[in-house]
Amino acid sequence: MTDMPRYPHRHLLGIQGLHPPEINALLDLSERYAEQNQGADKKDSTLRGRTVINLFFENSTRTRTSFELAGKRLGADVINMQVATSSVAKGETLIDTAMTLNAMHVDVLAVRHPDSGAVQLLSEKTNCAVINGGDGRHEHPTQALLDALTIRRRKGRLEGLTVAICGDVLHSRVARSNIHLLNTMGARVRVVAPRTLLPSGVETLGVDVYHDITEGVRGCDIIMMLRLQQERMQGSYVPSVREFFRFFGLDYAKLANAAPDALIMHPGPMNRGVEIDSDLADDFERSVIREQVEMGVAVRMACLEALAANAESSAGGAA
Ligand code: ASP
């Protein structure tokens, strides 16, 4: 696929700092894989002989499975390293893990970690290409790319759309990566949350801030709901989940203020009845949540291909 503009970096650690042609290169490649994945023969040999490791220090359903599927559909050998059963649980440091991976000649490493700096550190200490599968509250770049692909396929563009990102922005790496991507691609971004669930200085990320969801979603083309991330909360950020749903949960009444063809997104896992009404989440006229999961596989295939190609050209295939 050398006729397409390339993603020029060795790793994919975040969206911040990427330029529109780099993002478009990954989205265009993903588009091809989205089509391939809808056909009967979903497999090719682009990554034949390559080794992909999924190193997940935090739980994941969609992200880990889709990286695995993506690697396998490209013909790579894919290994899932479960942290609970690996030597990390016995006290091995991240640096020792990196040295082990180097000795195994891994080509691409997809990492999820609860600490924001850990993925960057691994990218410095390993010889392989590293993809950030979500690090703490920092970034989740493949989620933002799959969200962008879903929007682009439905709306035909990203530029000029108004997108409301609603809920627990404070703890959300999904929100951060989406804010960077959508701003870079010319969308207008709003964040909608109670004050306690917004990072201080969030305006400096180039968003408009709303504390009332009815106003926040007014006229929006896209509404992205976020999970209330109770596992990252120490203390109480909302009076109760019932209150939260009443004031910040998306239901049909609040949705009526958005554009008539507004689409609803959620990165999963969903807390039904907390940030989103259950019927609305399943309403395929409005909700593209299932499509987001589908696009996740295509985006991860594109990222694996792009990084493997870069590793080959920079290290003569000896990475
Ligand atoms: N799955 C997403 C993440 O890993 C969103 C979430 O967990 O709420 O960040």
- 304 residue type, one letter: L
Q: Helices 20-38 and 173-184 meet at what angle, rounded to 10? A: 110
176 lines ligand 1 (CB under 6 A): no
Average pLDDT in the chain: 93
- Give the model's confidence band at 232: pLDDT under 50 very low, under 70 low, under 90 confident, else very high: confident
Residue 236 has pLDDT above 80, yes or no: no
Give pLDDT, residue 82. 73
Q: What share of the chain in percent tops pLDDT 90?
A: 84
> By mean pLDDT, which of 17-26, 113-122, 137-146, 216-225 is the weakest?
113-122
DSSP three-state, residue 50? coil
pTM of this prediction? 0.95
Neighbours of 242 (CB within 10 A): 12
Distance 250 CA to ligand 1 centre (A): 18
Of 143, 94, 101, 89, the residue nearest 126 (C-alpha): 101
Tell me the pLDDT band of 317, cut-offs 50, 70 and 90.
very low
Cβ count within 10 A of residue 43: 11
Secondary structure (3-state) at 206: coil
Q: Which amino acid is at 264?
A: I
Say what the pLDDT of residue 5 is.
60
| Both tokens assigned to 27 | 């989205």
- Integer Cα distance of 60 and 296 in angstroms: 13
Q: pLDDT tens digits for 33-83?
A: 999 999 999 999 999 999 999 999 998 989 999 999 999 999 999 999 877
Distance (Å, whole) CA 311 – CA 319? 6
**Which carries the bigger pLDDT value, residue 208 or residue 90?**
208
Mean pLDDT of 279-306: 98
Nearest ligand 1 atom to the CA of 227 is 8
**How distant, in Å, are the alpha carbons of 16, 31, 47, 193, 216 from that of 265?**
21, 19, 31, 16, 15
Q: How far apart are CA 186 and CA 188, in angstroms?
A: 7
170 neighbors 197 (Cβ within 8 angstroms): yes
The separation between the first and the last C-alpha atoms of the chain, rounded to the nearest angstrom, is 21
Between residues 190 and 100, which one has the greater pLDDT? 190
CA-nearest of 71, 57, 140, 73 to 106 is: 71
Q: What is the DSSP letter of 167?
A: S
What integer is the mean pLDDT of 153-175? 98
Contacts with 87 (C-beta within 8 Å, 6 or more apart), sequence order: 96, 97, 100
Per the listing, tokens 């479960």 go with 82
Q: Residue 85: pLDDT band by 50, 70, 90 thresholds?
A: low
Per the DSSP assignment, residues forming a β-bridge with 130 are 109
Helix (H) or strand (E) holding 191: strand 188-192
- pLDDT of residue 3 exceeding 70, the answer is no
300 lines ligand 1 (CB under 6 A): no
266 CA → ligand 1 middle, Å:
9
C-beta 229 within 6 A of ligand 1: yes
140 within ligand 1 shell (Cβ under 6 A): yes
